[in-house]
């Protein structure tokens, strides 16, 4: 029997071999009265001559036997039935029996069990050999694998072309989804969706991602089948998900041959992108340091040219913005700054925020503080506050002379200290005199002075509260008495006792100044409480 001449000679043409094809080409015959699906795909075949040798079978393979290893099978029904059950469990496309060597007829037990499990049974004439059948099947499968590889290579070529587009990740995902006929989703290291194409449930798939996993996983989400694979890059791990509806025909072979290529392309692109971002951040930090260290008139022109190259407007209006993390405890503070990926994520976040707002910024991190020079832009400031709620912020007044940058830099630092005390952003132009003075004094030095001034008062709570109300009411005896629901003479008496504890007169301007500075935090709290009471009272 010669059957190979009926197969196509062009290796670029794939061959999908079915049971109907084999009946026509190889001369096998279905058992009379035994049903089968002519369109059932056959992807391989092997000879099985022992009841326990079915382990080599793959799904959609044909099992071929002469019965030589089945001694006494006709009288031993359990062995025959178990053999058919094992074939069905392995997903065999059917069983072909060559008559005349071991059996003259197919054992009745096999026929009965095969009919029960709907496993197709075929016979082969004695003058045919299993080797010819296996040769036919494997040759067809070989052509099919070549066709799959050819298609995979064409997909990879198209994916490589996507690297020339502005939004590389989106273009890669769109092309992959279109060519494979699946939904494709790319998640970043924070499990946010970078790009997606198709109708698969992106958020339900995202919920299945386990950050600690480093290998491909397959699972179902509703009626969707999902294959999820990590993509490791220097800055973290991205995730590529391919999803298809359970009713769709899906070529796993093509996916396996293209997924690796896509992962390599994404890894190369993202690594290059991150290296470029790292280099850009270094340049911006160096330029910012040059500005804050002092710019002379002779260097101003060259500096302006460099800023223009970074998309700053020439002769623009600038502002400084300072950020400092709100530390919860010393251990938390010491844990920040150990970045194994090489890029400070906060710098990355600031840069992303600036790009979203359509502006260019200079920025750097130093001593757990972040400094930003940017063209005056209220939208950027607002977005930055929203995205970095775990930081204190400070902003300078607008300025346009870079040779005087040290003054607005100091303004931003004063604003930061005032904001840290109040718990909300206090731009420099809103910083009061007391906060301005406090900002110039080292915290440890002022703490010692506060303890010294208040040492006597804190031994008597009622006297301390009276002094607070006295200062809050503008040092007016009558107003203080009304707010505390006391007689004015009681207020005078308490203030005289406070003077005795302080060792100085409450009419001395220096004493009043020291008390304002020492009690500033509590005065601010009292103002907020008083304001809230007033509002509620008005309602």
Domains of the chain, each with CATH number or no CATH? 4-142 (3.40.1390.20), 165-273 (3.30.450.30), 296-432 (3.30.70.270), 443-538 (1.10.10.2840)
pLDDT at 537: 41
- 249-270 residues labelled b (16+ CB within 10 A) or e (exposed): ebeebbbebbbebbbebbeebb
Residue 481 burial by Cβ neighbours in a 10 Å radius (0-12, 13-18, 19+): buried
Identify whether the C-beta of residue 354 lies closer than 8 Å to the C-beta of residue 284.
Answer: no
User: Tokens 């991150």 label which residue?
Assistant: 274
Residue-by-residue DSSP string for 59-94: TTEEEEE-STT-TTGGG-HHHHHHHHHHHHHTT-SE
pLDDT at 252: 65
Residue-by-residue DSSP string for 413-440: HHHHHHHHHHTS---GGG--HHHHHHHT
What span, in angstroms and rounded, lies between the C-alpha atoms of 63 and 79?
16
pLDDT at 374: 93
pLDDT at 526: 46
Identify whether the C-beta of residue 202 lies closer than 8 Å to the C-beta of residue 209.
Answer: no
Cα distances (Å, whole numbers) of residue 445 to 48, 169, 422, 452: 90, 54, 20, 11
Number of H helices, E strands in the chain: 19, 14
Residue 177 burial by Cβ neighbours in a 10 Å radius (0-12, 13-18, 19+): buried
Laid out side by side, the sheet with 193-197 consists of 193-197, 183-187, 236-245, 224-233, 217-221
E-strand stretches of 329-471: 362-366, 369-375, 391-395
pLDDT at 393: 92
What span, in angstroms and rounded, lies between the C-alpha atoms of 343 and 287?
18
Of the candidates 365, 361, 371, the one whose C-alpha atom is nearest the C-alpha of residue 416 is 371
25-28, long-range: CB < 8 A, 24+ apart:
25/136, 26/1, 26/128, 26/132, 26/133, 26/136, 27/1, 27/124, 27/125, 27/128, 28/96, 28/122, 28/123, 28/124, 28/133
3-state DSSP call for residue 393?
A: strand
Residue 205 burial by Cβ neighbours in a 10 Å radius (0-12, 13-18, 19+): buried
Identify whether the C-beta of residue 516 lies closer than 8 Å to the C-beta of residue 432.
Answer: no
3-state DSSP call for residue 244?
A: strand
What span, in angstroms and rounded, lies between the C-alpha atoms of 159 and 164?
10
77 φ/ψ sector (left φ>0, alpha ψ -120 to 50, else beta): alpha
- Name the DSSP class of 125: -
Contacts of 498 by beta carbon, 8 Å cutoff, 6+ apart: 456, 457, 463, 466, 467, 506
Q: Hey, what are 339's tokens?
A: 């970045």
Mapped to the 3 state alphabet, what secondary structure does 191-229 carry? CCEEEEECCCCHHHHHCCCCCCCCCCEEEEECCEEEEEE
What is the number of other CB atoms lying within 10 angstroms of the CB of residue 314? 8
- Name the DSSP class of 18: B
Of the candidates 354, 376, 211, the one whose C-alpha atom is nearest the C-alpha of residue 284 is 354
pLDDT at 384: 92
| DSSP bridge pairs for 22 | none
Per-residue pLDDT of the chain (539 residues; tens, 9 = 90+): 333 333 344 444 445 678 888 887 777 888 887 778 888 888 888 888 777 778 778 888 899 888 777 766 655 578 888 888 999 988 999 999 888 877 888 888 888 899 889 999 999 888 777 877 887 777 666 555 555 555 555 667 777 888 788 788 888 888 888 877 889 999 988 888 989 999 999 999 999 888 777 788 889 998 898 888 888 876 678 898 989 887 776 666 666 667 777 777 887 887 787 788 888 889 999 999 989 888 887 788 888 888 888 888 888 899 999 999 886 444 444 444 444 345 788 898 999 999 999 999 999 998 778 999 999 999 999 999 999 888 999 999 899 888 888 888 888 888 888 788 777 887 877 776 656 655 555 555 556 666 666 776 777 778 888 888 888 888 888 988 898 899 989 988 888 888 888 777 777 776 777 777 677 666 655 443 443 433 344 43
């Amino acid at each position: 029997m010669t059957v190979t001449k009926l197969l196509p000679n062009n290796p670029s043409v794939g061959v999908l071999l079915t049971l109907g094809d084999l009946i026509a080409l190889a001369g096998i015959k279905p058992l009379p009265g035994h049903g089968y699906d002519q369109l059932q795909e056959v992807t391989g075949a092997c000879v099985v001559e022992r009841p326990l040798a079915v382990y080599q079978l793959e799904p959609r393979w044909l099992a071929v036997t002469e019965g030589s290893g089945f001694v006494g099978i006709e009288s031993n029904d359990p062995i025959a039935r178990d053999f058919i059950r094992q074939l069905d469990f392995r997903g065999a496309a059917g069983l072909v029996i060559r008559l005349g060597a071991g059996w003259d007829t197919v054992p009745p037990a096999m026929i009965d069990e095969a009919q029960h499990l709907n496993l197709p049974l075929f016979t082969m004439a004695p003058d045919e050999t299993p080797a010819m059948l296996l040769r036919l099947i494997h040759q067809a499968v070989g052509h099919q694998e070549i066709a799959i590889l050819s298609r995979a290579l064409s997909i990879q070529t198209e994916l490589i072309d996507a690297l020339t587009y502005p939004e590389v990740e989106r273009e890669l995902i769109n092309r992959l989804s279109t060519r494979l006929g699946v939904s494709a989703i790319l998640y970043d290291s924070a499990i946010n969706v970078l790009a997606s194409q198709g109708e698969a449930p992106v958020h339900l798939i995202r919920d299945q991602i386990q950050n600690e996993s480093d290998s491909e996983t397959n699972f179902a989400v509703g009626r969707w089948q999902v294959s999820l694979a990590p993509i490791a890059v220097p800055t973290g791990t991205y995730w590529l998900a391919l999803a298809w509806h359970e009713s769709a025909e899906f070529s796993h072979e093509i996916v396996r041959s293209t997924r690796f290529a896509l992962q390599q392309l994404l890894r190369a692109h993202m690594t290059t992108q991150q290296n470029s971002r790292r280099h850009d951040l270094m340049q911006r930090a160096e330029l910012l340091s040059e500005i804050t260290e002092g710019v002379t008139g002779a260097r101003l022109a060259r500096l302006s040219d460099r800023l223009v190259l970074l998309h700053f407007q020439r002769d623009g209006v600038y502002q400084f913005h300072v950020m400092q993390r709100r530390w919860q405890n010393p251990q938390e503070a010491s844990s920040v700054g150990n970045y194994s990926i090489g890029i400070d994520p906060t710098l990355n976040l600031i840069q992303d925020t600036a790009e979203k707002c359509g502006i260019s910024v200079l920025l750097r991190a130093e001593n757990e503080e972040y400094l930003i020079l940017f063209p005056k832009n209220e939208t950027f400031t607002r977005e930055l506050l929203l995205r970095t709620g775990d930081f204190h912020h400070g902003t300078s007044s607008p300025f346009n002379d870079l040779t005087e940058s040290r003054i607005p830099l100091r303004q931003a630092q004063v604003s930061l200290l005032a904001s840290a005390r109040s718990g909300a952003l206090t731009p420099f132009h809103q910083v009061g005199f007391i906060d301005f003075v406090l900002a110039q004094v080292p915290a440890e030095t002022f703490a010692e002075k506060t303890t010294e001034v208040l040492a006597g008062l804190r031994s008597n709570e009622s006297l301390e509260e009276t002094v607070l109300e006295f200062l809050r009411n503008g040092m007016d005896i009558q107003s203080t008495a009304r707010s505390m629901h006391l007689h004015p003479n009681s207020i005078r008496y308490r203030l005289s006792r406070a003077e005795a504890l302080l060792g100085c007169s409450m009419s001395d301007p220096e004493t009043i100044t020291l008390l304002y500075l020492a009690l500033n935090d509590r005065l601010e709290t009292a103002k907020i409480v008083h304001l809230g009471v007033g509002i509620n009272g008005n309602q």
